[in-house]
Amino acid sequence: MADWYARPVFPVADVSGALEFYCDSLGFSEDWRFGEEDDIHAAQVSRDGCEVLLRKLPGKAGTGLVFLSLDPEQLDLLREEYEDSGVALEDGWWGYQLMEVLDPDGNRLQFAYPAE
C-alpha cells in the first residue's frame, strides 16, 4: 500500500501577510509561491517536515485547522521559542491539553500535549 501525502490548506486574505507571519514569527521557510509579487495567489511554507499551503480565499479566510503532535521535549522548546519571540499562544483542550497558535486570519495550529 502506498503512503499518503497530505498538507493542510489555510485560506488567507493576504498571502504576503501570511508569509510574513509564518516565516518571521513561526520559523517556517517559504518553499514556493504562485502569482505576481503584488498579487500572490498561493504559497507553501514548511518547518521540520510540516508543510502548509496558504491560499488567497478572502471570503473563507480563517477556516483552516491543523493538528500537530510533537515529542513533549520538542513541544516545550517550541512553546519557549514562541513565547520568547512574542507569538500569542492560547491553551486549549480536546480531551487533553493543547497549545494553540492563531495566524492573523484566524487559522489554527493546534499542538497536542500527551495525555497524562
Q: What is the pLDDT of residue 24?
A: 97
**With 70 as the cut, is the pLDDT of residue 81 above it?**
yes
Average pLDDT rounded to a whole number, residues 52-73: 94
Residue 1 domain-assigned (yes or no): no
User: Domain total for the chain?
Assistant: 1
Domain membership of residue 57 as a residue range: 9-112
pTM over 0.85: yes
Residue 58 domain-assigned (yes or no): yes
Q: What is the pLDDT of residue 38?
A: 85
Query: What's the chain's length in residues?
Result: 116
Residue 4 domain-assigned (yes or no): no
Residue 51 domain-assigned (yes or no): yes
Instruction: Express each pLDDT in 2-58 by its tens digit.
Output: 889 889 999 999 999 999 999 999 999 999 999 988 899 999 999 999 999 999 998
Q: What is the pLDDT of residue 48?
A: 94
Q: What is the pLDDT of residue 116?
A: 64
Beta strand 97-102 with 89-93 is antiparallel
- Specify whether the CB–CB gap between 103 and 66 falls below 8 A: no
Q: What is the pLDDT of residue 59?
A: 92
Q: Long-range contacts: 22-25, Cβ < 8 Å, 24+?
A: 22/52, 22/54, 22/103, 25/85, 25/86, 25/87
Residue 3 domain-assigned (yes or no): no
Q: What is the pLDDT of residue 8?
A: 96
Burial label, 97 (beta-carbon count in 10 A; 0-12, 13-18, 19+): middle
CATH number of the CATH domain containing 36: 3.10.180.10
